[in-house]
Amino acid sequence: ALAAHAALINQYCVTCHNEARQIPEAHPLLLDQLDLEDVADSAAAWEQVARKLRAGAMPPPGRPRPESAAATALAAWLETALDRAAAVRPDPGPQPAVRRLTRTEYGNAVRDLLALEALPKELDLVSLLPADNTVGFDNVAELLFVTPTLLEAYVTAARKISRIALGDPAQPVMVDTYPLPLEMPQDDRLDGLPLGTRGGIAIRRYFPLDGEYEIAVELTRLGRDPEQLEIAVDGERVDLVTLGVRGGDGASYGVEGDPLRRRVRVAAGPRTVGVTFLKKTAAAAEALLSPFTRGRGGQPAVAAVTISGPYGQTAPGDTPSRQRILVCRPTASASDGPGSDDRACARRVLSTLLRRAYRRPVTDADLAPVLAFYTEGRVEAGFERGLERALERILISPEFLLRVEAARVDAAPGEAYPVADLELATRLSFFLWSSLPDDELRDLAAAGRLRAPGVLDSQVTRMLADPRAASLVSNFVAQWLYLRDLEARRPNDRLFPDFDDGLRRAMLRETELVFETLVREDRSVVELLTSRVTFVNERLARHYGIPNVYGSHFRRVTLDEDSVRGGLLGMGSILTLTSYATRTSPVVRGKWVLENILGAPPPPPPPNVPALGDTGADGRVLSMRDRMAQHRANPVCASCHARMDPLGLALENFDAVGRWRTRDESGQAIDASGALPDGTTFEGLAGLRAILEARHEAFVTTLAEKLLMYAVGRDLGPFDQPTVRRVVREAARHDYRVSAIIQAIVESTPFQMRRSES
C-alpha cells in the first residue's frame, strides 16, 4: 500500500509541488522533500495533502487526476497515520493563559449573575461597549484586547448596572427611545402583541423601580378615520386612546404635533410594554407600497416609542435581581454603626456574588477589597448603597472580566496536561451558554467530581436542555453562517419591492428556529442539508409560495417532496446574505458553500480582478452563466472559479432575496446544471443537495471544525485535525446527532487540556 501511495503522489502531486517549482508561491508545499514513511515528522504538510484530496481540490482542473478510489484511499491512509501519531503525543494546541470575555459573554454573565434580563436601552451593551474583533468568531482569544477605552466603558457599564440591579432610588431618570424600522409593515399583527391588533411595537424592558413612567408615542401621520391606539404593560391594557383628525382628546399627535404622552405606574422588574393599534377590518394593506414607505403609508403608524422615568415616589420593588442579590437582609438599622449585623450580611451577600462572578471558591483576600468599597458606600448612604459600590467593583474586577487558567508549575516544556476542574467548568459554560457556570456545575468542579464517570456527560445533557443553550444559536450559529450581517442587507427596493424589515426578520427567525429545534430535539446535523421541515409565518410563506399559512405566528411545516425549499440552501436568509443588492452572485454563493458546507474555502482573489460584464460584445444582456464563463476565460481566475461557479449557479433559480424564478435578469431561461472538478454532474439545487447528502461527512467535518474553534476560542491548526476526525467518528456512531458532536468536543484533547509553553 505504501508503494502505491508513493507512486500516486509522485505521478500526480510532485510534478507541481517540488523544490524547483515552489508551489504555492507564498507557502510552498515541497512533497519531494517529505518522507511518506514518517508522516508525523511533517504532519502539517500531510494534513494539507489529505484535506485537498478529500475536497477534490487537487489536482486542479485541467491537470491529470488519479482515480477517485485511489485518491480517497491515500487520504484515508494519511489520516490514519496522522491520527496514530497524535494519539501517542496529544497536542491541545496553544491556549492563552488569560482571555477577556467578549461583549456578548459579558452581557450574558451580568444577566445570569444578577438575574437582569431585558435591560433598558440605555444599558444596551452593544452601545456601551465597543465591538469585538472577529476572525471566524469573536471569542478568538488573541484578538480580545484590553484597552484604556474599553476599561472606561466597563466602568460606565458597571456603575449603571449596579444601580439598576439594586433599584437605587437616587438614580437619574432614564430616557430610552425605540424607533421602528422605516420598512417595517404595520398593517398586520406583530409578534408579542395581542390578537386583533396591527403594527406597533412590543418592548421588553427592565424597570428598575416601582414608580411612574412616561410612554411617548410618535406617530407618522393622522388619517381621516378614527383609530384606537392601545398601550399595555405585560398584556394588561393601561390606556386606549381614540385618535381622529385631531385625536380623541382634542390634542394633535404624530408629525402634526407633539407625540402622544401617557404616564403609567409600572412595578419594578422585567416588563413588556406593547403599543399597537386595534385592527379594523377595512385597514389598508401596505403590500403594494415601496418597502421604505411601509408603515409610513396611508394609515397612522407608530414611528417610535420613548419610555422615560421613573418619576414621583419610587421604591426598589421585589425584582428578580434584588431577590438574586439579597440572600439576606440586615435586621439592625443602618444607624446602629459598625457593630450592627449589616456587615455580616454584606459579607454573605458579597461572598455569594463573588463565588458566582469569579467562577470559583473565594477567600478573605478576595473579599477584602470588595468590602472596602462596601464600607465606603455604607458610610455614604447605608447598606444598599454599600452593596451598590461593592457590585461596581465586582463587575470591573479582572477576575470577572478575564478567564484565567493557571499554568502547572511541574509541567515540562511542551507537556500536555488536564486543566483543573474549575477551569474545565468555565470552558464548558462559556462554550454552551456563553456565560458563567451555574451553582451546580461550579459546585461539582469545586468538589473535584466533574471528571467522575458519567458526570461530565450528564452535565452536558443538562446544559443543552437549559434555555441558556440558545446562545449556541444566537452566538455560534449567527457567526458561523454570518446571520448577523442580514440586518445590514438592503436589497434594491425598485427591483425587490416586496422585501422589507418584516421579511428580513422572518428569514432570520426561520433559520434560528430550525437550529433551536435541532438542538432541543437532538437531531442529526445532516438534516441541515436535507430536512423537509421548516418554520414560516404568513409573511415568509407568501414569499416562498407556501399556501394556507396565516398570521405572524411561526409554525412548523412539512414541505412537499417536490418543494424547492428545505435545508440551509433553500433558506431566504442564506440566499439573501449571499447576493448583492441588485442581483445574485454565483461566486459569493459558491464560496459560501465551499466554506460553510464543504470546508474547502478558495484562496483570496488576486488583486485587480475585473468586474463581471453585464453585456456581450453585441450589447446583448448576458445571462449569469455567460457572465461567469466570460470571467473564467481569464486563466488567473479559472482554477478557483471552476470549483465555486457550479455550486453558485446551482442556486440561480433563487433571486437575490431568495424567491424562486425560472428566468434571470436577462430574461433567459435559467440553466442551473453544473459539474464538479471530479466530473460529477448535477441539476439545480435538488441535484446539488443529493451530492451534498452523499458526501455528508464533509459537512459534518466542517461543522465539527467550526464548533471546535468556537469551543476553544482560537483558530485551528493542522495539529487539531486528528481531534476533528475523532469527533466525526464518534458522532457517526450516534447518527451525527448534535449532542454526540458536542460531547465529543467536550471530551477532546484541545478542550480538556493545555500545553506547557515553558
Please tell me the predicted confidence (pLDDT) of residue 640.
Answer: 66
The mean per-residue pLDDT over the stretch 242-260 comes to 57
Whole-number Cα distances in Å, 445 to 206, 385, 416, 459, 693: 33, 33, 20, 11, 41
Sign of CA dihedral 595, 601, 607, 612: negative
Please tell me the predicted confidence (pLDDT) of residue 387.
Answer: 97
Integer Cα distance of 453 and 467 in angstroms: 26
pLDDT tens digit sequence for 163-212:
999 999 988 899 999 999 888 888 888 888 888 899 899 999 999 999 99
Whole-number Cα distances in Å, 738 to 424, 518, 597, 700, 702: 20, 7, 16, 10, 14
Please tell me the predicted confidence (pLDDT) of residue 351.
Answer: 97
**Which of 35-44, 309-318, 744-753 has the largest mean confidence?**
744-753
Integer Cα distance of 572 and 160 in angstroms: 39
Please tell me the predicted confidence (pLDDT) of residue 35.
Answer: 84
pTM: 0.89
Exposed, middle or buried by CB within 10 Å (0-12, 13-18, 19+), for 243? buried
The mean per-residue pLDDT over the stretch 630-639 comes to 58
The mean per-residue pLDDT over the stretch 314-334 comes to 86
Integer Cα distance of 134 and 140 in angstroms: 7
Whole-number Cα distances in Å, 286 to 149, 187, 283, 293, 502: 45, 6, 9, 9, 12
Please tell me the predicted confidence (pLDDT) of residue 32.
Answer: 81
Torsional class of 235: left (φ above 0), alpha (ψ -120 to 50), beta (otherwise): left
Please tell me the predicted confidence (pLDDT) of residue 334.
Answer: 45
Cis peptide before 24 (omega within 30 of 0): yes
Integer Cα distance of 324 and 137 in angstroms: 32
C-alpha cell at 225: 378615520
| Identity of residue 350 | L
Distance of CA 598 to the CA centre of its chain: 20
Torsional class of 247: left (φ above 0), alpha (ψ -120 to 50), beta (otherwise): left
Are 685 and 672 in contact by the 8 Å Cβ rule? The answer is: yes
pLDDT score of 643 more than 50: yes
pLDDT band at 11 (very low <50, low <70, confident <90, very high): confident
Number of Cβ atoms within 10 Å of the Cβ of 77: 17
Integer Cα distance of 442 and 360 in angstroms: 7
Please tell me the predicted confidence (pLDDT) of residue 481.
Answer: 94
Residue 33 is classified by DSSP as G
Q: Which helix (H) or strand (E) holds 36?
A: none
pLDDT tens digit sequence for 663-704:
987 788 999 998 887 778 899 999 999 999 998 999 999 999
C-alpha cell at 523: 437531531
Please tell me the predicted confidence (pLDDT) of residue 132.
Answer: 87
**Coil, helix or strand at residue 227:** strand
Q: Which helix (H) or strand (E) holds 240?
A: strand 236-243
C-alpha cell at 519: 438542538
The mean per-residue pLDDT over the stretch 242-252 comes to 55
Whole-number Cα distances in Å, 554 to 286, 291, 533, 543, 660: 21, 22, 13, 14, 21
The mean per-residue pLDDT over the stretch 708-724 comes to 94
Instruction: Kindly give, in sequence order, each residue whose CB lies less than 8 Å from that of residue 338, ignoring residues fewer than 6 positions away.
Output: none
C-alpha cell at 633: 476565460
Give the residues across from 228 on adjacent strands. Answer: 242
- The C-alpha angle 654, 658, 661, rounded to 5 degrees, equals 35
Integer Cα distance of 5 and 49 in angstroms: 12
pLDDT tens digit sequence for 45-59:
888 888 888 877 777
Least confident range of 191-195, 356-360, 554-558, 709-713: 191-195
Least confident range of 133-137, 279-283, 407-411, 472-476: 279-283
pLDDT score of 22 more than 90: no
The mean per-residue pLDDT over the stretch 390-402 comes to 96
Share of the chain above pLDDT 70, in %: 88
pLDDT band at 614 (very low <50, low <70, confident <90, very high): low
Integer Cα distance of 599 and 50 in angstroms: 13
Q: What is the mean pLDDT of the chain?
A: 87
Integer Cα distance of 351 and 325 in angstroms: 11
pLDDT tens digit sequence for 467-491:
999 999 999 999 999 999 999 999 9
Number of Cβ atoms within 10 Å of the Cβ of 561: 7
User: What DSSP string runs through 96-147?
Assistant: -SEEEPPHHHHHHHHHHHHT--S--GGG-HHHHSPPPP-BSBTT-GGG----
The mean per-residue pLDDT over the stretch 719-735 comes to 95
Please tell me the predicted confidence (pLDDT) of residue 20.
Answer: 81
pLDDT band at 106 (very low <50, low <70, confident <90, very high): very high
Share of the chain above pLDDT 90, in %: 58
Please tell me the predicted confidence (pLDDT) of residue 616.
Answer: 60
The mean per-residue pLDDT over the stretch 154-162 comes to 93
pLDDT band at 248 (very low <50, low <70, confident <90, very high): very low
Number of Cβ atoms within 10 Å of the Cβ of 239: 16
pLDDT band at 295 (very low <50, low <70, confident <90, very high): low
pLDDT score of 276 more than 90: yes
**Coil, helix or strand at residue 197:** strand
Using alpha carbons, select from 592, 591, 569 the residue that is nearest to residue 644: 591
pLDDT tens digit sequence for 344-390:
999 999 999 999 999 999 999 999 999 999 999 999 989 999 999 99
C-alpha cell at 606: 488576486
The mean per-residue pLDDT over the stretch 623-632 comes to 64
Are 78 and 4 in contact by the 8 Å Cβ rule? The answer is: no
Please tell me the predicted confidence (pLDDT) of residue 408.
Answer: 85
The mean per-residue pLDDT over the stretch 392-403 comes to 96
The mean per-residue pLDDT over the stretch 538-557 comes to 93
Residue 436 is classified by DSSP as -
Please tell me the predicted confidence (pLDDT) of residue 252.
Answer: 44
